[in-house]
Structure 1
Protein backbone atom coordinates (compact mmCIF):
# COMPACT_ATOMS: atom_id res chain seq x y z
CA UNK A 1 0.00 0.00 0.00
CA UNK A 2 1.21 3.50 -0.80
CA UNK A 3 0.65 6.63 1.27
CA UNK A 4 -1.66 8.01 -1.41
CA UNK A 5 -3.86 4.89 -1.62
CA UNK A 6 -4.16 4.90 2.18
CA UNK A 7 -4.99 8.60 2.15
CA UNK A 8 -7.80 7.95 -0.34
CA UNK A 9 -9.24 5.23 1.90
CA UNK A 10 -9.02 7.44 4.99
CA UNK A 11 -10.74 10.31 3.21
CA UNK A 12 -13.38 8.04 1.68
CA UNK A 13 -14.41 6.73 5.11
CA UNK A 14 -15.57 10.28 5.92
CA UNK A 15 -18.65 9.57 3.78
CA UNK A 16 -19.84 7.19 6.52
CA UNK A 17 -19.54 9.76 9.32
CA UNK A 18 -22.52 11.71 10.64
CA UNK A 19 -23.48 13.86 13.64
CA UNK A 20 -25.78 12.02 16.05
CA UNK A 21 -28.55 14.42 17.11
CA UNK A 22 -29.48 12.03 19.91
CA UNK A 23 -25.98 12.13 21.43
CA UNK A 24 -24.94 15.79 21.60
CA UNK A 25 -23.94 15.83 17.93
CA UNK A 26 -21.11 13.39 18.50
CA UNK A 27 -19.59 11.99 15.34
CA UNK A 28 -20.44 8.39 14.54
CA UNK A 29 -20.14 6.07 11.58
CA UNK A 30 -22.74 4.18 9.60
CA UNK A 31 -20.17 1.46 8.84
CA UNK A 32 -18.13 0.55 11.97
CA UNK A 33 -16.76 -2.60 10.33
CA UNK A 34 -15.30 -0.66 7.39
CA UNK A 35 -13.90 1.99 9.71
CA UNK A 36 -12.12 -0.65 11.84
CA UNK A 37 -10.78 -2.30 8.69
CA UNK A 38 -9.33 0.95 7.35
CA UNK A 39 -7.82 1.77 10.76
CA UNK A 40 -6.14 -1.64 10.91
CA UNK A 41 -4.63 -1.02 7.47
CA UNK A 42 -3.48 2.44 8.55
CA UNK A 43 -1.77 1.14 11.67
CA UNK A 44 0.01 -1.55 9.67
CA UNK A 45 1.14 1.06 7.17
CA UNK A 46 2.50 3.33 9.92
CA UNK A 47 4.42 0.47 11.53
CA UNK A 48 6.07 -0.31 8.19
CA UNK A 49 6.61 3.20 6.82
CA UNK A 50 7.07 5.48 9.84
CA UNK A 51 10.82 5.96 9.31
CA UNK A 52 10.20 7.16 5.75
CA UNK A 53 7.33 9.56 6.42
CA UNK A 54 7.95 13.27 6.13
CA UNK A 55 6.36 15.70 8.61
CA UNK A 56 3.39 16.53 6.39
CA UNK A 57 2.46 12.89 5.82
CA UNK A 58 2.94 12.04 9.47
CA UNK A 59 0.76 15.02 10.49
CA UNK A 60 -2.00 13.91 8.14
CA UNK A 61 -1.87 10.26 9.22
CA UNK A 62 -1.67 10.80 12.98
CA UNK A 63 -4.37 13.47 12.93
CA UNK A 64 -6.75 11.53 10.70
CA UNK A 65 -6.19 8.18 12.41
CA UNK A 66 -6.59 9.81 15.82
CA UNK A 67 -9.90 11.35 14.76
CA UNK A 68 -11.14 8.07 13.33
CA UNK A 69 -10.24 6.10 16.47
CA UNK A 70 -12.30 8.63 18.43
CA UNK A 71 -15.26 8.03 16.15
CA UNK A 72 -14.63 4.28 16.40
CA UNK A 73 -15.19 4.61 20.17
CA UNK A 74 -11.54 4.03 21.05
CA UNK A 75 -10.73 7.44 22.55
CA UNK A 76 -7.65 6.28 24.45
CA UNK A 77 -6.02 5.08 21.22
CA UNK A 78 -7.12 8.36 19.62
CA UNK A 79 -5.47 10.31 22.44
CA UNK A 80 -2.20 8.44 21.93
CA UNK A 81 -2.05 9.37 18.23
CA UNK A 82 -3.25 12.93 18.75
CA UNK A 83 -0.87 13.65 21.63
CA UNK A 84 2.01 12.52 19.42
CA UNK A 85 0.68 14.71 16.63
CA UNK A 86 0.49 17.73 18.94
CA UNK A 87 4.00 17.07 20.24
CA UNK A 88 5.37 16.95 16.69
CA UNK A 89 3.76 20.21 15.54
CA UNK A 90 4.74 22.03 18.74
CA UNK A 91 8.36 21.15 18.03
CA UNK A 92 7.98 22.75 14.60
CA UNK A 93 6.12 25.84 15.96
CA UNK A 94 3.50 25.36 13.24
CA UNK A 95 0.72 27.40 14.83
CA UNK A 96 -2.22 26.49 12.61
CA UNK A 97 -1.39 22.80 13.01
CA UNK A 98 -1.03 23.29 16.77
CA UNK A 99 -4.53 24.80 16.91
CA UNK A 100 -6.05 21.99 14.84
CA UNK A 101 -4.22 19.40 16.94
CA UNK A 102 -5.45 20.97 20.19
CA UNK A 103 -9.05 20.85 18.93
CA UNK A 104 -8.72 17.23 17.79
CA UNK A 105 -7.13 16.19 21.08
CA UNK A 106 -9.82 18.04 23.02
CA UNK A 107 -12.48 16.09 21.17
CA UNK A 108 -10.73 12.80 21.98
CA UNK A 109 -10.65 13.70 25.67
CA UNK A 110 -14.34 14.64 25.49
CA UNK A 111 -15.15 11.23 24.01
CA UNK A 112 -13.08 9.73 26.84
CA UNK A 113 -15.43 11.58 29.24
CA UNK A 114 -12.68 13.89 30.47
CA UNK A 115 -14.60 17.07 29.74
CA UNK A 116 -12.44 19.30 31.94
CA UNK A 117 -9.27 18.31 30.07
CA UNK A 118 -11.14 18.82 26.79
CA UNK A 119 -12.19 22.34 27.83
CA UNK A 120 -8.62 23.15 28.82
CA UNK A 121 -7.43 22.15 25.33
CA UNK A 122 -10.22 24.10 23.61
CA UNK A 123 -9.25 27.18 25.67
CA UNK A 124 -5.64 26.75 24.57
CA UNK A 125 -6.79 26.57 20.95
CA UNK A 126 -8.94 29.70 21.32
CA UNK A 127 -6.06 31.59 22.94
CA UNK A 128 -3.73 30.62 20.10
CA UNK A 129 -6.35 31.74 17.55
CA UNK A 130 -6.42 35.13 19.27
CA UNK A 131 -2.63 35.47 19.41
CA UNK A 132 -1.58 34.17 16.00
CA UNK A 133 -3.10 35.88 12.97
CA UNK A 134 -2.91 32.77 10.79
CA UNK A 135 -4.79 30.82 13.48
CA UNK A 136 -7.83 33.12 13.45
CA UNK A 137 -9.43 31.06 10.67
CA UNK A 138 -9.91 28.22 13.18
CA UNK A 139 -11.57 30.26 15.93
CA UNK A 140 -15.08 29.21 14.87
CA UNK A 141 -14.06 25.53 15.04
CA UNK A 142 -12.55 25.94 18.51
CA UNK A 143 -15.67 27.76 19.72
CA UNK A 144 -18.00 25.16 18.24
CA UNK A 145 -16.14 22.25 19.87
CA UNK A 146 -15.97 24.07 23.19
CA UNK A 147 -19.72 24.70 22.96
CA UNK A 148 -20.47 21.04 22.30
CA UNK A 149 -18.34 20.08 25.31
CA UNK A 150 -20.17 22.60 27.51
CA UNK A 151 -23.48 21.26 26.24
CA UNK A 152 -22.54 17.75 27.41
CA UNK A 153 -21.77 19.27 30.82
CA UNK A 154 -25.30 20.73 30.86
CA UNK A 155 -23.96 24.28 30.65
CA UNK A 156 -26.48 25.39 28.07
CA UNK A 157 -26.10 29.17 28.31
CA UNK A 158 -22.31 28.99 28.00
CA UNK A 159 -22.67 26.55 25.11
CA UNK A 160 -25.12 28.86 23.32
CA UNK A 161 -22.70 31.76 23.74
CA UNK A 162 -19.97 29.71 22.02
CA UNK A 163 -22.32 28.66 19.22
CA UNK A 164 -23.56 32.23 18.68
CA UNK A 165 -19.98 33.52 18.39
CA UNK A 166 -19.05 30.67 16.04
CA UNK A 167 -22.18 31.34 13.96
CA UNK A 168 -21.29 35.03 13.62
CA UNK A 169 -17.82 34.10 12.34
CA UNK A 170 -19.19 31.47 10.00
CA UNK A 171 -21.73 33.86 8.53
CA UNK A 172 -18.84 36.21 7.79
CA UNK A 173 -17.01 33.33 6.10
CA UNK A 174 -20.15 32.58 4.10
CA UNK A 175 -19.72 28.79 4.05
CA UNK A 176 -23.22 27.25 4.04
CA UNK A 177 -22.22 23.84 5.44
CA UNK A 178 -20.40 25.43 8.40
CA UNK A 179 -23.31 27.81 9.05
CA UNK A 180 -25.76 24.88 9.00
CA UNK A 181 -23.57 22.86 11.36
CA UNK A 182 -23.40 25.65 13.93
CA UNK A 183 -27.08 26.49 13.55
CA UNK A 184 -27.89 22.83 14.25
CA UNK A 185 -25.71 22.92 17.39
CA UNK A 186 -27.33 26.16 18.53
CA UNK A 187 -30.82 24.73 17.95
CA UNK A 188 -29.94 21.63 19.98
CA UNK A 189 -28.55 23.78 22.81
CA UNK A 190 -31.73 25.86 22.88
CA UNK A 191 -33.88 22.73 22.90
CA UNK A 192 -31.91 21.03 25.69
CA UNK A 193 -31.82 24.26 27.72
CA UNK A 194 -35.54 24.90 27.25
CA UNK A 195 -35.16 28.04 25.15
CA UNK A 196 -36.83 26.77 21.97
Structure 2
Protein backbone atom coordinates (compact mmCIF):
# COMPACT_ATOMS: atom_id res chain seq x y z
CA UNK A 1 0.00 0.00 0.00
CA UNK A 2 2.81 2.44 0.91
CA UNK A 3 5.80 0.33 -0.13
CA UNK A 4 6.82 2.80 -2.83
CA UNK A 5 7.22 5.56 -0.22
CA UNK A 6 9.47 3.56 2.12
CA UNK A 7 13.12 2.56 1.84
CA UNK A 8 15.95 1.57 4.22
CA UNK A 9 18.74 3.77 5.54
CA UNK A 10 22.37 2.80 6.14
CA UNK A 11 21.35 1.24 9.47
CA UNK A 12 18.78 -0.95 7.68
CA UNK A 13 15.86 0.86 9.32
CA UNK A 14 12.78 1.91 7.36
CA UNK A 15 12.64 5.60 6.39
CA UNK A 16 10.54 7.66 3.94
CA UNK A 17 11.65 8.07 0.34
CA UNK A 18 9.85 11.42 0.52
CA UNK A 19 8.75 12.60 3.95
CA UNK A 20 6.11 15.02 2.68
CA UNK A 21 4.53 12.45 0.37
CA UNK A 22 4.44 9.80 3.11
CA UNK A 23 2.91 12.28 5.57
CA UNK A 24 0.22 13.14 3.02
CA UNK A 25 -0.46 9.46 2.38
CA UNK A 26 -0.88 8.84 6.10
CA UNK A 27 -3.39 11.70 6.22
CA UNK A 28 -5.44 10.06 3.47
CA UNK A 29 -5.41 6.68 5.21
CA UNK A 30 -6.45 8.26 8.51
CA UNK A 31 -9.33 10.05 6.77
CA UNK A 32 -10.47 6.78 5.21
CA UNK A 33 -10.27 5.09 8.60
CA UNK A 34 -12.26 7.90 10.21
CA UNK A 35 -15.02 7.74 7.61
CA UNK A 36 -15.46 3.97 7.46
CA UNK A 37 -19.18 3.23 7.81
CA UNK A 38 -20.27 1.74 11.10
CA UNK A 39 -20.26 -2.04 10.87
CA UNK A 40 -17.64 -2.10 8.11
CA UNK A 41 -15.56 -5.21 7.60
CA UNK A 42 -12.93 -5.25 10.35
CA UNK A 43 -10.41 -6.59 7.85
CA UNK A 44 -10.23 -3.15 6.20
CA UNK A 45 -9.72 -1.50 9.57
CA UNK A 46 -6.89 -3.93 10.26
CA UNK A 47 -5.15 -3.07 6.99
CA UNK A 48 -5.54 0.68 7.46
CA UNK A 49 -4.32 0.71 11.06
CA UNK A 50 -1.36 -1.48 10.11
CA UNK A 51 -0.17 0.79 7.31
CA UNK A 52 -0.77 3.95 9.32
CA UNK A 53 1.35 2.41 12.07
CA UNK A 54 4.14 1.41 9.68
CA UNK A 55 4.20 4.87 8.14
CA UNK A 56 4.24 6.62 11.51
CA UNK A 57 7.16 4.39 12.52
CA UNK A 58 9.08 5.45 9.41
CA UNK A 59 8.29 9.10 10.19
CA UNK A 60 9.59 8.72 13.74
CA UNK A 61 6.20 9.12 15.45
CA UNK A 62 6.80 6.21 17.80
CA UNK A 63 3.81 6.53 20.13
CA UNK A 64 1.30 6.69 17.28
CA UNK A 65 3.07 3.86 15.47
CA UNK A 66 2.76 1.56 18.46
CA UNK A 67 -0.87 2.57 19.08
CA UNK A 68 -2.03 1.83 15.53
CA UNK A 69 0.03 -1.35 15.15
CA UNK A 70 -1.26 -2.70 18.47
CA UNK A 71 -4.81 -1.98 17.29
CA UNK A 72 -4.14 -3.80 14.02
CA UNK A 73 -2.56 -6.74 15.85
CA UNK A 74 -5.53 -7.01 18.21
CA UNK A 75 -7.96 -7.02 15.28
CA UNK A 76 -5.94 -9.72 13.52
CA UNK A 77 -6.01 -11.88 16.64
CA UNK A 78 -9.75 -11.31 17.17
CA UNK A 79 -10.73 -12.31 13.64
CA UNK A 80 -8.36 -15.28 13.71
CA UNK A 81 -6.02 -14.10 10.95
CA UNK A 82 -2.88 -15.76 12.26
CA UNK A 83 -0.88 -14.80 9.17
CA UNK A 84 -1.60 -11.14 9.87
CA UNK A 85 -0.76 -11.72 13.53
CA UNK A 86 2.75 -12.76 12.50
CA UNK A 87 3.27 -9.92 10.02
CA UNK A 88 1.85 -7.19 12.27
CA UNK A 89 3.65 -8.58 15.31
CA UNK A 90 6.92 -8.11 13.44
CA UNK A 91 5.93 -4.53 12.56
CA UNK A 92 5.04 -3.80 16.17
CA UNK A 93 8.37 -5.30 17.23
CA UNK A 94 10.09 -2.89 14.84
CA UNK A 95 8.10 0.02 16.30
CA UNK A 96 9.25 -0.85 19.83
CA UNK A 97 12.83 -1.34 18.61
CA UNK A 98 12.87 2.01 16.82
CA UNK A 99 11.47 3.65 19.97
CA UNK A 100 14.29 2.25 22.12
CA UNK A 101 12.30 -0.52 23.83
CA UNK A 102 14.32 -3.67 22.99
CA UNK A 103 12.71 -5.87 25.67
CA UNK A 104 9.17 -5.45 24.28
CA UNK A 105 10.54 -5.82 20.77
CA UNK A 106 12.29 -9.06 21.72
CA UNK A 107 9.07 -10.59 23.04
CA UNK A 108 7.15 -9.66 19.89
CA UNK A 109 9.81 -10.99 17.52
CA UNK A 110 10.08 -14.29 19.35
CA UNK A 111 6.32 -14.73 19.46
CA UNK A 112 6.04 -14.01 15.73
CA UNK A 113 8.88 -16.40 14.91
CA UNK A 114 7.36 -19.17 17.02
CA UNK A 115 3.95 -18.72 15.35
CA UNK A 116 5.51 -18.62 11.89
CA UNK A 117 7.44 -21.85 12.50
CA UNK A 118 4.36 -23.67 13.79
CA UNK A 119 1.63 -22.30 11.50
CA UNK A 120 3.04 -20.26 8.60
CA UNK A 121 6.37 -21.59 7.32
CA UNK A 122 6.15 -19.19 4.37
CA UNK A 123 6.69 -16.32 6.84
CA UNK A 124 9.63 -17.80 8.74
CA UNK A 125 12.20 -15.96 6.59
CA UNK A 126 10.52 -12.62 7.36
CA UNK A 127 10.48 -13.35 11.10
CA UNK A 128 14.14 -14.40 10.98
CA UNK A 129 15.08 -11.23 9.08
CA UNK A 130 13.40 -8.88 11.58
CA UNK A 131 14.73 -10.81 14.58
CA UNK A 132 18.23 -10.89 13.10
CA UNK A 133 18.33 -7.11 12.69
CA UNK A 134 17.04 -6.72 16.25
CA UNK A 135 19.80 -8.96 17.58
CA UNK A 136 22.37 -7.05 15.54
CA UNK A 137 21.32 -3.77 17.15
CA UNK A 138 21.50 -5.36 20.61
CA UNK A 139 25.07 -6.47 19.96
CA UNK A 140 24.33 -10.21 19.72
CA UNK A 141 26.23 -10.54 16.48
CA UNK A 142 26.51 -14.32 16.58
CA UNK A 143 22.75 -14.66 17.12
CA UNK A 144 22.04 -12.14 14.38
CA UNK A 145 24.33 -13.97 11.97
CA UNK A 146 22.62 -17.30 12.66
CA UNK A 147 19.12 -15.91 12.11
CA UNK A 148 20.08 -14.10 8.92
CA UNK A 149 21.94 -17.08 7.47
CA UNK A 150 18.82 -19.21 7.96
CA UNK A 151 16.68 -16.48 6.39
CA UNK A 152 19.06 -16.31 3.43
CA UNK A 153 18.82 -20.06 2.81
CA UNK A 154 15.01 -19.89 2.87
CA UNK A 155 14.92 -16.90 0.53
CA UNK A 156 17.33 -18.46 -1.95
CA UNK A 157 15.01 -21.48 -2.00
CA UNK A 158 12.06 -19.14 -2.67
CA UNK A 159 13.92 -17.68 -5.63
CA UNK A 160 12.95 -14.09 -4.83
CA UNK A 161 15.97 -11.97 -5.82
CA UNK A 162 14.74 -8.84 -4.00
CA UNK A 163 14.30 -10.70 -0.72
CA UNK A 164 17.70 -12.38 -1.13
CA UNK A 165 19.31 -8.99 -1.70
CA UNK A 166 17.67 -7.56 1.42
CA UNK A 167 18.88 -10.39 3.64
CA UNK A 168 22.35 -10.38 2.09
CA UNK A 169 22.65 -6.67 2.88
CA UNK A 170 21.77 -7.31 6.53
CA UNK A 171 24.13 -10.28 6.70
CA UNK A 172 26.96 -8.23 5.14
CA UNK A 173 26.49 -5.57 7.80
CA UNK A 174 26.58 -8.13 10.62
CA UNK A 175 29.72 -9.72 9.23
CA UNK A 176 31.32 -6.27 8.91
CA UNK A 177 30.50 -5.56 12.56
CA UNK A 178 31.98 -8.91 13.55
CA UNK A 179 35.19 -8.15 11.68
CA UNK A 180 35.38 -4.67 13.20
CA UNK A 181 34.85 -6.09 16.67
CA UNK A 182 37.93 -8.25 16.19
CA UNK A 183 38.88 -9.59 19.59
CA UNK A 184 35.72 -8.30 21.28
CA UNK A 185 34.08 -11.72 21.14
CA UNK A 186 37.02 -13.09 23.07
CA UNK A 187 36.94 -10.29 25.67
CA UNK A 188 36.60 -12.01 29.04
CA UNK A 189 34.63 -9.07 30.49
CA UNK A 190 31.54 -9.49 28.26
CA UNK A 191 28.23 -10.35 30.00
CA UNK A 192 27.91 -13.69 28.24
CA UNK A 193 31.36 -14.85 29.30
CA UNK A 194 30.87 -13.63 32.86
CA UNK A 195 27.66 -15.64 32.94
CA UNK A 196 29.42 -18.73 31.63
CA UNK A 197 32.19 -18.35 34.20
CA UNK A 198 29.70 -17.99 37.06
CA UNK A 199 27.62 -20.96 35.97
CA UNK A 200 30.70 -23.15 35.75
CA UNK A 201 31.43 -22.52 39.44
CA UNK A 202 28.05 -22.28 41.15
CA UNK A 203 24.33 -22.67 40.47
CA UNK A 204 21.04 -21.26 41.70
CA UNK A 205 19.61 -24.76 41.37
CA UNK A 206 21.42 -26.14 44.45
CA UNK A 207 21.62 -23.71 47.39
CA UNK A 208 23.30 -26.41 49.48
CA UNK A 209 26.45 -25.80 47.42
CA UNK A 210 26.65 -22.07 48.13
CA UNK A 211 28.77 -22.08 51.29
CA UNK A 212 31.46 -24.14 49.59
CA UNK A 213 31.25 -22.22 46.32
CA UNK A 214 31.51 -18.70 47.67
CA UNK A 215 35.18 -18.38 48.70
CA UNK A 216 36.26 -19.10 45.13
CA UNK A 217 33.86 -16.44 43.80
CA UNK A 218 34.57 -13.61 46.23
CA UNK A 219 37.39 -11.83 44.38
CA UNK A 220 35.71 -12.20 41.00
CA UNK A 221 32.42 -10.80 42.27
CA UNK A 222 34.23 -7.94 43.99
CA UNK A 223 35.82 -7.01 40.66
CA UNK A 224 32.52 -7.28 38.81
CA UNK A 225 30.52 -5.21 41.30
CA UNK A 226 33.17 -2.58 42.02
CA UNK A 227 31.56 -0.11 39.59
CA UNK A 228 27.91 -0.85 40.25
CA UNK A 229 25.83 2.19 41.12
CA UNK A 230 22.95 0.19 42.61
CA UNK A 231 23.41 -2.56 45.18
CA UNK A 232 20.53 -5.06 45.65
CA UNK A 233 17.78 -3.76 47.95
CA UNK A 234 14.73 -5.82 48.97
CA UNK A 235 11.74 -3.47 49.40
CA UNK A 236 8.75 -4.97 51.19
CA UNK A 237 5.18 -4.01 50.46
CA UNK A 238 3.71 -1.63 53.06
CA UNK A 239 6.93 -1.48 55.07
CA UNK A 240 9.19 0.21 52.50
CA UNK A 241 6.55 1.33 49.99
CA UNK A 242 2.94 0.58 49.12
CA UNK A 243 1.59 0.01 45.62
CA UNK A 244 -2.18 0.22 44.89
CA UNK A 245 -3.70 -3.26 45.09
CA UNK A 246 -5.97 -2.73 42.07
CA UNK A 247 -3.01 -1.85 39.85
CA UNK A 248 -1.08 -4.92 40.98
CA UNK A 249 -4.11 -7.12 40.31
CA UNK A 250 -4.58 -5.65 36.84
CA UNK A 251 -0.94 -6.33 35.97
CA UNK A 252 -1.13 -9.88 37.33
CA UNK A 253 -4.18 -10.57 35.15
CA UNK A 254 -2.54 -8.96 32.10
CA UNK A 255 0.65 -10.95 32.68
CA UNK A 256 -1.24 -14.24 32.83
CA UNK A 257 -3.04 -13.50 29.56
CA UNK A 258 0.12 -12.27 27.83
CA UNK A 259 2.15 -15.31 28.84
CA UNK A 260 -0.64 -17.67 27.79
CA UNK A 261 -1.11 -15.98 24.42
CA UNK A 262 2.36 -14.74 23.48
CA UNK A 263 4.79 -16.02 26.10
CA UNK A 264 8.12 -17.50 25.14
CA UNK A 265 10.71 -19.44 27.08
CA UNK A 266 13.95 -17.57 27.72
CA UNK A 267 16.70 -18.93 29.99
CA UNK A 268 14.21 -21.34 31.54
CA UNK A 269 11.53 -18.77 32.44
CA UNK A 270 8.44 -17.49 30.65
CA UNK A 271 8.62 -13.95 29.25
CA UNK A 272 5.96 -11.75 27.65
CA UNK A 273 5.70 -8.13 26.60
CA UNK A 274 4.01 -5.74 29.02
CA UNK A 275 0.78 -4.04 27.96
CA UNK A 276 -1.70 -1.36 28.96
CA UNK A 277 -1.95 -2.40 32.63
CA UNK A 278 1.82 -2.10 33.13
CA UNK A 279 1.94 1.21 31.27
CA UNK A 280 -0.94 2.51 33.42
CA UNK A 281 0.93 1.38 36.54
CA UNK A 282 4.03 3.37 35.56
CA UNK A 283 1.85 6.41 34.89
CA UNK A 284 0.16 6.20 38.31
CA UNK A 285 3.16 5.16 40.43
CA UNK A 286 6.37 7.17 40.62
CA UNK A 287 8.84 4.33 40.28
CA UNK A 288 11.70 6.80 39.84
CA UNK A 289 11.08 7.88 43.45
CA UNK A 290 11.09 4.25 44.61
CA UNK A 291 14.44 3.67 42.92
CA UNK A 292 15.81 7.00 44.12
CA UNK A 293 14.85 6.48 47.77
CA UNK A 294 16.37 3.02 47.89
CA UNK A 295 19.54 3.67 45.89
CA UNK A 296 20.23 7.40 45.75
CA UNK A 297 20.38 7.17 41.96
CA UNK A 298 18.40 9.72 39.92
CA UNK A 299 16.75 7.76 37.10
CA UNK A 300 14.39 8.43 34.22
CA UNK A 301 10.98 6.80 33.90
CA UNK A 302 11.33 3.09 33.01
CA UNK A 303 12.20 2.73 29.35
CA UNK A 304 11.36 -0.96 29.13
CA UNK A 305 9.50 -3.71 30.91
CA UNK A 306 8.75 -7.41 30.61
CA UNK A 307 6.53 -9.91 32.38
CA UNK A 308 8.27 -12.98 33.84
CA UNK A 309 6.68 -16.18 35.11
CA UNK A 310 7.85 -19.42 36.72
CA UNK A 311 5.06 -21.97 36.61
CA UNK A 312 6.41 -25.49 37.03
CA UNK A 313 8.05 -27.48 39.80
CA UNK A 314 11.83 -27.24 39.58
CA UNK A 315 11.84 -24.23 37.26
CA UNK A 316 14.73 -21.91 38.12
CA UNK A 317 16.96 -19.22 36.65
CA UNK A 318 20.69 -19.81 36.91
CA UNK A 319 23.14 -17.06 37.85
CA UNK A 320 23.86 -14.57 35.08
CA UNK A 321 24.46 -10.89 34.37
CA UNK A 322 22.38 -8.85 31.93
CA UNK A 323 23.33 -6.84 28.89
CA UNK A 324 23.98 -3.19 29.88
CA UNK A 325 21.16 -1.93 27.64
CA UNK A 326 18.53 -2.72 30.27
CA UNK A 327 19.81 0.26 32.27
CA UNK A 328 21.71 1.23 35.40
CA UNK A 329 18.86 0.06 37.64
CA UNK A 330 16.41 -2.82 37.46
CA UNK A 331 13.25 -3.17 39.52
CA UNK A 332 11.61 -6.58 39.78
CA UNK A 333 8.11 -6.38 41.26
CA UNK A 334 6.24 -9.49 42.42
CA UNK A 335 2.66 -9.64 41.15
CA UNK A 336 1.72 -13.09 42.37
CA UNK A 337 3.43 -15.82 44.39
CA UNK A 338 1.46 -18.97 45.08
CA UNK A 339 3.26 -21.13 47.59
CA UNK A 340 2.23 -24.40 49.27
CA UNK A 341 2.21 -24.19 53.05
CA UNK A 342 3.89 -27.60 53.32
CA UNK A 343 6.91 -26.76 51.11
CA UNK A 344 10.19 -26.95 53.03
CA UNK A 345 11.62 -24.15 50.87
CA UNK A 346 10.11 -21.54 48.54
CA UNK A 347 11.63 -20.08 45.41
CA UNK A 348 13.53 -16.82 45.90
CA UNK A 349 15.25 -14.17 43.82
CA UNK A 350 18.93 -14.55 44.67
CA UNK A 351 22.06 -12.43 44.18
CA UNK A 352 25.78 -13.03 44.62
CA UNK A 353 27.34 -10.10 46.50
CA UNK A 354 30.77 -9.59 48.02
CA UNK A 355 29.26 -10.68 51.34
CA UNK A 356 27.72 -13.89 50.03
CA UNK A 357 24.39 -14.97 48.60
CA UNK A 358 21.43 -12.65 49.19
CA UNK A 359 17.99 -14.27 48.93
CA UNK A 360 14.84 -12.18 48.53
CA UNK A 361 11.54 -13.93 49.17
CA UNK A 362 9.19 -11.72 47.16
CA UNK A 363 5.49 -11.69 47.97
CA UNK A 364 2.85 -9.72 46.03
CA UNK A 365 3.79 -6.04 46.09
CA UNK A 366 7.38 -6.71 47.18
CA UNK A 367 10.16 -5.63 44.87
CA UNK A 368 13.92 -5.67 44.59
CA UNK A 369 16.09 -2.96 43.03
CA UNK A 370 19.53 -3.87 41.66
CA UNK A 371 21.98 -3.44 38.79
CA UNK A 372 21.47 -6.45 36.56
CA UNK A 373 24.56 -5.83 34.44
CA UNK A 374 26.96 -5.81 37.39
CA UNK A 375 25.27 -8.06 39.95
CA UNK A 376 25.01 -11.84 39.37
CA UNK A 377 21.39 -12.87 39.96
CA UNK A 378 18.99 -15.76 39.46
CA UNK A 379 16.05 -17.66 41.02
CA UNK A 380 16.05 -20.81 43.09
CA UNK A 381 13.85 -23.76 41.99
CA UNK A 382 10.09 -23.83 42.50
CA UNK A 383 8.59 -26.34 44.91
CA UNK A 384 5.59 -28.55 44.11
CA UNK A 385 2.49 -26.38 43.60
CA UNK A 386 4.45 -23.12 43.56
CA UNK A 387 4.26 -20.39 40.90
CA UNK A 388 5.67 -16.87 40.62
CA UNK A 389 4.65 -13.96 38.37
CA UNK A 390 6.84 -10.84 38.17
CA UNK A 391 7.28 -7.69 36.15
CA UNK A 392 10.75 -6.29 35.50
CA UNK A 393 11.39 -2.63 34.65
CA UNK A 394 14.64 -1.09 33.39
CA UNK A 395 15.81 2.44 34.25
CA UNK A 396 18.52 4.68 32.86
CA UNK A 397 20.33 7.23 35.02
CA UNK A 398 19.40 10.85 34.27
CA UNK A 399 23.04 11.86 34.22
CA UNK A 400 23.43 9.70 31.11
CA UNK A 401 26.54 8.00 32.48
CA UNK A 402 26.26 4.48 31.00
CA UNK A 403 27.73 1.30 32.35
CA UNK A 404 31.43 1.49 31.78
CA UNK A 405 34.43 -0.49 32.86
CA UNK A 406 37.32 1.91 33.10
CA UNK A 407 39.72 -0.88 33.95
CA UNK A 408 38.21 -4.14 32.66
CA UNK A 409 38.58 -6.97 35.15
CA UNK A 410 39.34 -10.23 33.37
CA UNK A 411 37.49 -13.27 34.58
CA UNK A 412 39.87 -15.35 36.73
CA UNK A 413 41.30 -18.46 35.14
Which range, TM-score by smaller chain? 0.7 to 0.9
Return the match for 1:92 from 79, 83, 91: 79
Aligned partner of 2:17 in structure 1 is 30
Q: Which residue of 2 aligns with 1:119?
A: 106
Question: Could you tell me how far 1:131 is from its partner in structure 2?
Answer: 1.7
Select between 137-146 and 85-94 the one with higher mean Cα deviation. Answer: 85-94
Comparing 176-185 and 55-64, the one that deviates more: 55-64
Look up the SS of the partner of 1:18 in the other structure.
strand
In structure 2, distance between residues paired with 1:141 and 1:165: 11
Contact 2:5 2:21 in 1 (8 A): no
Q: Find 1:168's aligned residue among 147, 153, 171.
A: 153
Q: What whole-Å deviation, never above 9, does each CA across 1:56-112 have from its counterpart, x for those lacking one? A: 211211111111110011121011011111111111222111111111111111111
1:26 shift after superposition? 0.3
User: Are 1:61 and 2:53 counterparts?
Assistant: no
Task: Check if 1:14 corresponds to 2:6.
Answer: no
Q: Assess if the C-alpha contact under 8 Å between 2:46 and 2:71 holds in 1.
A: no
**Cα RMSD (Å):** 1.6
* Cα distance in 2, alignment partners of residues 122 and 151 from structure 1: 13
Superposed CA deviations along residues 40-68 of structure 1, whole A, max 9, x for unmatched, are: 22212212226253122112111111111
Deviations 1:26-50 (A, max 9, x none): 0111311111122122212212226
For structure 2, the 5+ residue unaligned runs are: 183-413
Deviation at 1:155, TM superposition (A): 1.4
Q: Secondary structure at the match of 1:187?
A: helix
Q: Give the equivalent residue in structure 1 for 2:166.
A: 181
> Structure 1 stretches of 5 or more lacking a match?
1-10
Q: Distance in 2 between matches of 1:18 and 1:157?
A: 26
Structure with greater helix percent: 1
Q: Distance in 2 between matches of 1:98 and 1:180?
A: 25
Q: Distance in 1 between matches of 2:3 and 2:148?
A: 24
Of the candidates 50, 69, 88, which is equivalent to residue 82 of structure 1? 69
Residue 151 of structure 1 deviates from its aligned partner by 0.9
**Are 2:35 and 1:48 aligned?**
yes
Report which of the two structures shows the higher radius of gyration computed on alpha carbons. 2
Partner of 2:142: 157
Q: Is 1:104 aligned to 2:107, yes or no? A: no
Number of paired residues? 181
The structure richer in strand per residue is 2
TM-score (norm 1): 0.87
> Structure 1 residues 140 and 154 mapped into 2: Cα distance closer, same or farther (>3 Å)?
same
